[in-house]
Structure 1
Amino acid sequence: MKYNRILFSSLIVVLTTISASLNVLAQNPYSQLRGSEEDSLMTKNFPGAWNLPGTDLYMKIGGYFRIDAIYDFNGAGSRNQLLIGQIPVEGTPEADAGPFFNMHVRETRFNLDIRRTTGLGRSLKFFIEFDFFDESLKSGQPRLRHAFVKYGNLVIGQTWTNLSDLRVFPFIMDFSAGDALFGGRSVQIRWEQNFKEHWQYGVSLEMPEIDGIYNPNEQAGEIMPVLPVFSARLSNNRDNGMLMFGAQVEQLRWYGRKQGPTATALSWGAVFNGRQTITQRFYATWHASYNRGMASQILIFTGSEQGAVLTPSGDLHLDEAITLAVGGGYQLSKSFSANFALAQFNRGRLDFRPDDTLKKGLMGHANIMWTIDASAMTGIEYAWGNRNNIDNAKGNASRIQAMIKYAF
């Protein structure tokens, strides 16, 4: 314990010294989200844009540098983010791994935003962004996050799904901050349109999952969907908050290739999201979802099981999953803020699963952030998680994380 305290104290001193020496600024953590100027289709006046000489194109180079330092008290799974599916349970060799320290720059990212007005008078936007957070790759290899075109009400390409709206989460350092987020990023064709003051609808066709079926008996065949995901949502956007209701359906299909069973099932999920300003200093957020057969689309299940099972009889059994997340942020002063998030999930009957399958869990984050100026921020965060398996085996994990972020 004495060694842990010395290491943790040294970590804080190092990061505080570095951040104090940077004459840089802090980025609004909610930029580039739905409703922001950067998400708009303004051709000339979006933040940071300049005209490319001799063309009608306007471009912005954006992104940020970020360094994270992590001290994990339990040696829980990923060295870069706290994943509940990787928390070891008591009585296993992994539970004796012990604490570790890690530093990385994987969340550093860069993007290009290029826009023009077409001959029809409509704005056309192309956006592409990379980071380095694919943990299956070496830390220096980029990962594609977004690559899409936005033309009027039409969005084509890879970006956040129709049901993903990050405004429903406070600013959390841990990369798995979305905890109970239903969705993620997907290749899609989406139409979204304002139809009344403060109201917008969105419908989309999205790339289906290709790893959403668990095959415990190793039956011949493979996951082979032949239809896209269909998604629809209704959003209410106001200056002091937002509400969003949405649902999606997806075909799950196992194709036996004439050697194993062929089975299909219809999975579905629904979400209810919100963000509300309570006072000038405090806002609250919430996110709830229910699904049958779509557990793999919940961030908190990253690294755990799929949402459906290919049974011994060759049928598809759909698992249930319920998530609930609440959070909030409080502006302590002009430069300091505090944020917290708590997420819980529970799965229904898990037939055909081994006893060590993740059944339910809880995750929490709390931090203090210091906004140095308009482009730089730093802070420290405590994160913890608890998991329970089918056989009631339990595991706990906690870590301290600190970071420095410089946006450009």
Structure 2
Amino acid sequence: MKPLNILSFFLCLVFTTDCFAQDPYLTITSKDSINGAPKFKSSMGVHMKLNGYLDLFGGLQGNDTFNIGYINVFGDDDETSLNVDMYQTQIRWSTFIVMPDGQKIKAIVESDFWGGNGHVRLRKAYVESKHWQIGQNWNNFGDEDLWPNIMELEGPPSGIWLRNPHVKYMNTFNDEKWKYEISLEAPQDDYFTLQEIQPFLDDTHQSTPDVTFAMTYQKAWGHLRLASILRNIKYKLNDKVDNFFGYGATFSGKHTVGRNCFQFQLVGGEGISSYLTTISGFGYDGYPAVGNDFKGTLAFGGWVTYEYFFNEKLHGNAVFGYTRYSTDDSERYVVIDESEAELDYIAGDFRHRHYYGILNLMYDAYDRMTLGLEVDYGVKSVNFDGNIDGIYFDDTFKRDAMRISFGFMFDL
């Protein structure tokens, strides 16, 4: 094997990435072929993205994504804020190998600069054959083929775009239109603190993987997908370790007519907060309830998006999303306002709602280059309902935010 081919073969075992609509400029293929296809192909690509955002009002100043969960409902800072960065730029390596029996193997490694202050962060790293995928990729509870074509990176609040290590098995029922996937996912836990509340839980080690099952119906026009998840979540309360079960389901789909595209996703369940994009890291999967019980946090939501092409270069997108999660009869939690004063609510309820909307225009100025301008608007509503020292209290805190996002994307 020639030195260049040896280098390519090494890269294919170590690096790779998802394919662009077109191959990256740096693509190496072997001269050997199997069934008319190169024995292996290795590529390095860069998805360059300038991310600019002007916060017009609301509690998201300085946040690099339009995460509705970050809105400070107790705050009143409406100062305009302008930021520009290149942290969403991605570096991608990909390799595709054709085995002697014709089976294709691909390996993927993808990073961006979203690790804080421009530090490199691992997005994906996995190897995939016809039936197996091992490594870190999009979680099987979500829908890998969905993403609204928007400038801001967070996406709708109920979106499921968690990437974690897993082992996944894929197959069909001897009918390529139907595909099922079963996976063991690295355990997630998220029930310790929220921007507004603290449920008094201590960290503990998880010991069982999350289990998912998904079924996809695929046609030329797009697909429909139903996925489910079952979780066993350990927690520690008052130095006692125990566990509770979480479960959920999603229904999603994508339909294309020409280049125009409609997408949607619905999600619901208990103990799945760590999988929802603007709840993960803020809420918790479960909470201590009255009667020495422990419950999974109820969460549900959905989003829809439509992309329309006005001509070959100009296209626009509309996105709408909603998420709600709540606790009933919480035994105790602390509410934290902007001044960090704490109020102890006993046997209280908690309601959390996110509303999300986006309109944008995108212009494909050149091959592989897109310019975009969009308006982002969101509302966060928090309701507390409980007793403080025997005195009933019921109040709602609401705040909205509006942002102009802009930038360009270029694929090398």
TM class by smaller structure: 0.7 to 0.9
**Please, which of 149, 173, 176 is the counterpart of residue 151 of structure 2?**
173
Q: Which residue in 1 is equivalent to 2:80?
A: 99
1:246 aligns with 2:250: no
8 Å Cα contact 2:56/2:78 also seen in 1:
no
1:282 maps to which residue?
260
Give yes or no for the alignment of 1:65 onto 2:43: no
Is residue 158–residue 300 contact of structure 2 (8 Å, CA) maintained in 1? no
Aligned equivalents of 2:154 and 2:142: distance in 1?
Answer: 14
Of 183-192 and 226-235, more deviation after overlay is shown by 183-192
Contact 1:358 1:387 in 2 (8 A): no
193, 206, 215: which one pairs with 1:234? 215
> Corresponding residue for 1:372?
365
| Aligned residue number for residue 269 of structure 1 | 248
- Number of the residue aligned with 1:304: 282
Cα RMSD (Å) of the superposition?
Answer: 2.8
How far residue 62 of structure 1 moved from its aligned partner, in angstroms, is: 1.4
1:367-404 Cα shifts (integer Å, max 9, x gaps): 00001233100010100100110231100000001111
Q: 2:269 aligns with which of 272, 287, 291?
A: 291
Q: Structure 2: any 5+ residue segments left out of the alignment? A: 1-16, 33-37, 337-349, 384-394
The CA distance in 2 between the partners of 1:58 and 1:310, in whole Å, is 53
Q: Which amino acid aligns with 2:380?
A: R
- Structure 2 match to 1:344: 322
SS in 2 for 1:85: helix
Larger RCO: 1 or 2 (CA < 8 Å, sep 6+): 1
Aligned equivalent of 2:404: 400
Cα distance change of structure 1 residues 48 and 153 upon mapping to structure 2, 3 Å threshold: farther
Equivalent residues of 1:281, 1:332 under 8 A apart:
no
Instruction: Indicate the SS of the match to 2:114.
Output: coil
Task: Give the distance between the partners of 1:46 and 1:372, measured in 2 at CA.
Answer: 18
SS of equivalent to 1:223: coil
Alpha-carbon shift at residue 110 of structure 1 (Å)? 0.5
The answer to whether 1:149 aligns with 2:133 is no
**Any conservation in 1 of the 2:156–2:320 contact (CA below 8 Å)?**
no
In 1, Cα distance between equivalents of 2:250 and 2:96: 32
Give the Cα separation in 1 of the matches to 2:376 and 2:199.
37
* CA pair 238-354 structure 1, distance change in 2 beyond 3 A: farther
| CA distance in structure 2 between the aligned counterparts of 1:374 and 1:100, rounded to whole angstroms | 32
User: Match for 1:204: what amino acid?
Assistant: S
Matched pairs, number: 360
SS of 1:296's equivalent?
helix
- Cα 1:303–1:76, aligned 2, differ >3 Å: closer, same or farther? farther
Take 1:32 and 1:366, find their aligned partners in 2: how far apart are those partners?
A: 27
Q: Quick one: distance in 2 between partners of 1:197 and 1:125?
A: 20
Structure holding more strand per residue: 2
Does residue 187 of the first structure (1) align with residue 165 of the second (2)? Answer: yes
| SS of structure 2 residue aligned to 1:95 | coil
What are the superposed Cα offsets for residues 279-331 of structure 1, whole Å, 9 maximum, x if unpaired?
44633211100010111210121452112124587643211011111110111
Asked whether the 8 Å contact 1:83–1:302 carries over to 2, the reply is no
Aligned equivalents of 1:351, 1:111: Cα separation in 2: 48
The residue that corresponds to 2:113 in the other structure is 132
Q: How many Å separate the matches in 1 of 2:328 and 2:46?
A: 42
CA contact (8 A) 2:72 2:399 kept: yes
Tell me how far apart the structure 2 counterparts of residues 340 and 152 of structure 1 sit (CA, whole Å): 35
Of the candidates 98, 109, 123, which is equivalent to residue 117 of structure 1? 98
Q: What is the TM-score with the length of structure 2 in the denominator?
A: 0.80
Q: Report the counterpart of residue 326 of structure 1 in structure 2.
A: 304
Contact 1:211 1:223 in 2 (8 A): no
Give the corresponding residue for 1:197. 176
1:83 aligns with 2:67: yes
Give per-residue Cα distances to partners, 1:329-371, cap 9 Å, x unaligned: 1111110001011001112434434456661120011100001
* TM-aligned CA distance change 1:405 to 1:216, over 3 Å: closer
Secondary structure in structure 2 of the residue aligned to 1:163: coil
Query: Structure 1: which 5+ runs fail to align?
Result: 1-30, 39-44
Look up the SS of the partner of 1:299 in the other structure: coil
Deviations along 1:198-228, whole A, 9 cap, x unmatched? 1111110000113345594645x53322111
- Determine which structure has the larger helix proportion and give its number: 1
The separation in 1 between residues aligned to 2:199 and 2:307, in whole angstroms, is 47
Find the aligned partners of 2:55 and 2:24 in 1 and give their Cα distance: 41
Question: What TM-score results when the alignment is normalised by the length of structure 1?
Answer: 0.80
Deviation, structure 1 residue 103: 0.3
